[in-house]
Structure 1
Amino acid sequence: MNGRPLRKLGFLTIGLFDEKDPARGHESTLRLIELGERLGYDSAWVRHRHLQYGIASPVAVLAAATQRTERIELGTAVTPLGWENPLRLAEDWATVDLLSGGRFNPGVSTGPPMHYERVRDALYPGTADAEEFGYERVRRLLAHLAGEPATDFRGTEGIETYSDRVQPHSPGLRGRVWYGGGSLRSARWAGENAMNLLTSSVVKAEDAATPGPVDFAAVQLSHIRAFRAAHPAGDAARVSQGLVVIPTDSAGAARRAKYEEYAARRLPRTGQPHGPARLLYAPDLVGPSEWIAERLREHAAFREVEEVAFALPFTFDEEDYEQILTDIAERLGPALGWEAAVRSG
């Protein structure tokens, strides 16, 4: 049985679009978020994609979503902070949080931008070698969100009035910041800094030194427990898990075959760590909701969480996503003990 009742059900989308018609893809993402609210989901999350054909500006997309939803929480999973200026991002995040009525749940990750050697001169001309992409960048962001001074001046010059902290300020937002961590070090750091922890279908198996298969669930469980051991809230610290689940309950034969082929192509990367970082991937779960629920109940890390944000596959069609979201909300979620929020519409 699941050790903790599933209290919050969310989903994550990458928001792909056609370069020739990008507006259609963004509108599709907004429709999925609206559908999630109608189905009773607790949260909807979007993922960054820079210089690709996916959502590059979650802040803008989620600002639009705040005006088309009333209840569902909205998050980023995650914002790679190496692309951002912490002070400017704090302004944008506070604005979105206020527009949403306190429903914004931003997530961040550290590290240099992907393919930094290719983009560094466009992103940070003249300062690329001086940029810091580690935990200090997150600390700066958290300080701005908490309302700590950003300057030593506060007052009036002529007819202009200035604040010494980021404006607007949204009380409570600092406590809703998540860290996307896949290693023991990052899990501990997130806990020590009183953040929430986002786990996904990728972890670092750095402590699994022996050759051969590695248990993904056991590695992820060690991260969750290390996070909570370091967090001031202890076992009450929030953790959200983000595996890929694809229920097939209401899917036709052609759609089921499409899903199974997708998962089969990704299966070879699971079971053993890859590369110098020893990245370990969880297999996608494709099948009837009752079968998926059984697999999750057997998952040691899933038994430790009360919140999930199931990741939608990257390359499916909007109709596929609608079927998957509906089956998760109406079949898989209840099978895991989840109760839908008050549905709208």
Structure 2
Amino acid sequence: MSAKKIGFLSFGHWTPSPRSGTRSGQDALLQSIDLAVAAEELGVDGAYFRVHHFARQLGSPYPLLAAAGAKTSSIEIGTGVIDMRYEPPMRFAEDAASADLISEGRLQLGISRGSPEQVVEGYKYFGFHPAEGERDADMARRHTEIALQVLTGQGFAEPNPRPMFPNPPGMLRVEPYSQGLRERIWWGAGSDATAEWAAQKGMNLMSSTLKDDESGEPLHIQQTKQIQKFRQEWNNHDHGFTPRVSVSRSIIPIVSDQDRAYFLGQRDSQDQFGMIDEKTRAVFGRSYTAEPDELVEELATDTAVQEADTLLVTVPNQLGVDYNARLLENIIEHVAKPLGWK
């Protein structure tokens, strides 16, 4: 297997339970920064965070991205994913560029049309409504297309003839501008068609542990076909850079009594198929939970992981920074290195 970038993906769950190591929104944010710092010290390549609104999880990503970027120096800082139904494109471009400049160009922003939410049509509370004839997914793609254009840095806004401060010549762009960020936008694709759309628009591809079931095959086989279709479509366009592809997996090497107590009962999990809303049948990826030798054998047959250049490992963040740092270290030492990923 070829070398890969390996990052962690945290959903940032928190709950005010005495059994949780992450009991408040503040805990979730500060521990996320601490885990990014610890992961960088271990040689992990990326610190990625899920965004969910109206949930006891990580919400607005930009303060977290900026803070993690300021406290680290080499690790990629990313999202997986920002729901573009909720995002004003101009403010998205401003906030993303600001966080990217603070991190000195290390942002990797995963965005998408979003997943089933905590509330009904939550984006409406943020002031967004699909246009007549639009679905919410269409609105997310419309927001995305505007944001991608703004991130090119081309001027489009007519300057005031009597500005408060002197303007540069020509039309104005959103400031600040961060060069290269446009090439570090990823689309979280739930289907083959949206993966191809991402390729058409010049975005990298994220594929998670949840995908539309389009053939009844195991997740890794469906993902492999999705990745191949993405790359085939990419080759039909001249975007000026080579795309990246990530897949997400839950991987727990059982190397201690603590691991056994928490996770051993999950070792026989398989892909699950079911409905995520009234119309969409999906396949949910299995968890890889076993002793290291067994994990190496199982992951060697995961064709989607083989196809991807980046692997995002979901972490049980409520077990605390120390546990998750050890988990990442064990994945690097006992799984990634034997498989030739690192």
TM band (smaller chain): 0.7 to 0.9
Per the alignment, residue 200 of structure 2 pairs with 192
Q: Does residue 58 of the first structure (1) align with residue 61 of the second (2)?
A: yes
CA–CA distance in structure 1, aligned partners of residues 123 and 5 of structure 2: 39
Per the alignment, residue 149 of structure 1 pairs with 155
Q: Does residue 82 of the first structure (1) align with residue 79 of the second (2)?
A: no
> Structure 1, unaligned stretches of length 5 or more?
209-213, 340-345
Deviation at 1:206, TM superposition (A): 2.3
Per the alignment, residue 320 of structure 1 pairs with 323
Per the alignment, residue 257 of structure 1 pairs with 261
Give the counterpart of 2:104 among 97, 101, 106.
101
CA offsets 1:61-97 (integer angstroms, 9 cap, x no match): 1111111111101001000011110110100000111
CA–CA distance in structure 2, aligned partners of residues 237 and 121 of structure 1: 33
CA–CA distance in structure 2, aligned partners of residues 15 and 229 of structure 1: 35
Q: Does residue 272 of the first structure (1) align with residue 287 of the second (2)?
A: no
Per the alignment, residue 95 of structure 2 pairs with 92
Q: Superposition pairs for residues 67-78 of structure 1, below 5 Å?
A: 67-78=70-81
Match of 2:263, as an amino acid? Y
CA–CA distance in structure 2, aligned partners of residues 230 and 148 of structure 1: 26
Per the alignment, residue 9 of structure 1 pairs with 6
Secondary structure class of the residue paired with 2:228: helix
Give the counterpart of 1:170 among 159, 173, 178.
178
Q: Percent identity of the aligned residues?
A: 27
CA–CA distance in structure 1, aligned partners of residues 187 and 118 of structure 2: 21
> Structure 2, unaligned stretches of length 5 or more?
17-22
Q: Superposition pairs for residues 116-155 of structure 1, below 5 Å?
A: 117=120, 119-124=122-127, 128-130=129-131, 133-153=139-159
Evaluate the alpha carbon distance shift between residue 143 and residue 118 of structure 1 in structure 2; reply closer, same or farther with a 3 A threshold: closer
Per the alignment, residue 337 of structure 2 pairs with 334
Kindly indicate whether the alpha-carbon contact (under 8 Å) linking 1:10 and 1:45 is maintained by their aligned counterparts in 2. yes
Give the counterpart of 1:219 among 218, 222, 239.
222
Evaluate the alpha carbon distance shift between residue 230 and residue 257 of structure 1 in structure 2; reply closer, same or farther with a 3 A threshold: same
CA offsets 1:214-241 (integer angstroms, 9 cap, x no match): 3222111110001000114899531011
Kindly indicate whether the alpha-carbon contact (under 8 Å) linking 1:6 and 1:307 is maintained by their aligned counterparts in 2. no
Secondary structure class of the residue paired with 1:189: helix
Per the alignment, residue 342 of structure 1 pairs with none
Per the alignment, residue 343 of structure 1 pairs with none
Deviation at 1:45, TM superposition (A): 0.3
Kindly indicate whether the alpha-carbon contact (under 8 Å) linking 1:151 and 1:165 is maintained by their aligned counterparts in 2. yes
CA–CA distance in structure 1, aligned partners of residues 153 and 54 of structure 2: 32
Match of 1:145, as an amino acid? L
CA–CA distance in structure 1, aligned partners of residues 75 and 160 of structure 2: 36
Evaluate the alpha carbon distance shift between residue 111 and residue 118 of structure 1 in structure 2; reply closer, same or farther with a 3 A threshold: closer
Evaluate the alpha carbon distance shift between residue 23 and residue 295 of structure 1 in structure 2; reply closer, same or farther with a 3 A threshold: same
Evaluate the alpha carbon distance shift between residue 41 and residue 108 of structure 1 in structure 2; reply closer, same or farther with a 3 A threshold: same
Per the alignment, residue 248 of structure 1 pairs with 254
CA offsets 1:275-301 (integer angstroms, 9 cap, x no match): 531110111000123322221111121
Q: How many residues align?
A: 324
After superposing on structure 2, the runs of 4+ consecutive aligned residues of structure 1 that deviate more than 6 Å are: none
Kindly indicate whether the alpha-carbon contact (under 8 Å) linking 1:18 and 1:25 is maintained by their aligned counterparts in 2. no
Deviation at 1:105, TM superposition (A): 0.5
Match of 1:336, as an amino acid? L
Question: Root-mean-square deviation (CA), in Å?
Answer: 2.5
| Between 152-161 and 174-183, the greater mean CA deviation after superposition | 152-161
Kindly indicate whether the alpha-carbon contact (under 8 Å) linking 1:82 and 1:112 is maintained by their aligned counterparts in 2. no
